[in-house]
Structure 1
Amino acid sequence: MKSLHSLESIATPANAWATTAGAIVSPAFLYLYGTNRQDILIVLFFMIVLDWITGISAAKKDQSYSSDYGLSRIPRTLFLMALPAVANLLDRVMGTPGFLFYGVTFGLIYHTWTSLTANAHRAGWPMPKSIERLVSAEIKAKAERAKRKES
């Protein structure tokens, strides 16, 4: 009797919808990105989230934020998350297991790292001088873009 009561709390319409969504999304995710690649995709996603956070902080500090700019980040993020899937599909077509996927994904991680580091610098967050030198070109480009938005 007690076990039936606990099943009632599990067998809910919301859980049924979540299970159905997972059953549909999981195979699609594996098809698009390949198997055993969750860790690198989580790193990419986490870097994109950090880029958003640092970008918002930097824009608030130099007052260059606009809702248009913020809204344009959504399609950009979707595009960045789609590129590894395209690279994985091209790997399958060309028979190069992981070559394009990992090249594209690591390239996106590096690009996003430079962006979030430059944003953190613009936001006034402390960082080692050696890191600032590594991303100095991105820091300069972001500062110039922020100035153009002000005028």
Structure 2
Amino acid sequence: MRFFQSFDTLLSPANGWAMSAGATMAPVFYYLYGSERRDILIVLLVMIALDWMTGVFAAKKDLTYSSEYGLSRIPRTLFLFALPAVANLLDRVVGTPGFLFFGVTFGLIYHTWTSLTANAFRAGWPLPKAVVKLVSSEIQAKAERSTRKEKQ
């Protein structure tokens, strides 16, 4: 009897909406990004989340954090997720088996990695010296942006 009682919480309106949204979005997701590409997209999602997190800590440390700046990053993030979809659609049009998709996606992952690593350095988190040297130009660019922001 207890097994059937658990259906009461499963069959709630909120769960119904969530299931409907998932059933609607799954085909759209596969159309935009292709099948069997979840893993690389999850890597990109995690990297972007880490970039946001390290960016917040770095901005709070150097006192340049503002919610306005954070909100302005939302369209940028949506753009980062749209680029692999466009590349996948172009692969389909041109007939290449993922060449553009994987090139764009790995490029975005590398760019996001340099950004989050520079943010982590600015936040004062320990990083190997070799990694700091690899992203030194990004660290310098972020430091200059935060200095300009402080003056405004």
Instruction: Give the TM-score band, short-chain normalised.
Output: over 0.9
Q: TM-score, normalised by structure 1?
A: 0.95
Q: CA deviation at 1:2?
A: 5.1
Q: Distance in 2 between matches of 1:91 and 1:14?
A: 37
C-alpha separation in 2, matches of 1:22 and 1:145: 40
**Structure 1 residue 36 and structure 2 residue 32: aligned?**
no
Q: Please report the RMSD computed on the Cα atoms of aligned residues, expressed in angstroms.
A: 1.2
Residue 57 (structure 1) aligned with residue 57 (structure 2): yes
| Aligned-partner residue type, residue 61 of structure 1 | K
Give the share of equivalent positions with the same residue, in percent. Answer: 71
**Correspondences of 1:1-151 after superposition (within 5 Å):** 3-151=3-151
Query: Is 126-135 or 15-24 further displaced after alignment?
Result: 15-24
* Larger mean Cα displacement after TM superposition, 67-76 or 34-43: 67-76
Structure 1: stretches of 5+ with no match in the other structure:
none
Query: What is the letter of the counterpart of residue 35 of structure 2?
Result: T
Question: Residues 75-117 of structure 1, C-alpha deviation per residue, up to 9 Å, x if partnerless?
Answer: 0100001100000000001001110000000000000000000
Number of corresponding residues: 151
* Distance in 1 between residues matched to 2:96 and 2:83, nearest whole Å: 16
SS at match of 1:57: helix
With the length of structure 2 as denominator, give the TM-score of the two structures: 0.95
